[in-house]
Amino acid sequence: HASEGQDQICDPLLAALAQPVQACVGEQRLSIVRACIQADKQHVIQRFPSYQRLVELAEWVI
């Protein structure tokens, strides 16, 4: 049995990404997108083609 609160995500960005999409609104959604595109391009973004494409779209929109 997991103790209460053990499943809580402490990192604010990861916690926001774990929420259902409809739970994020306006500025919160934009803040999450901006944080995601700040990831290390070589070691994180470029490793995952889908992530790289999403970052390209986000940079174009923002």
pLDDT tens, residue by residue, 9-60: 888 888 888 877 666 778 888 888 899 999 999 999 999 998 899 899 999 9
Residue 61: the pLDDT is: 85
Residue 28: the pLDDT is: 82
Other Cβ atoms less than 10 A from the Cβ of 33: the count is 18
- Alpha helices in the chain, H assignment, sequence order: 12-18, 26-37, 49-61
In this prediction the pTM is: 0.63
Residue 4: the pLDDT is: 54
pLDDT band for position 1 (cuts 50, 70, 90): very low
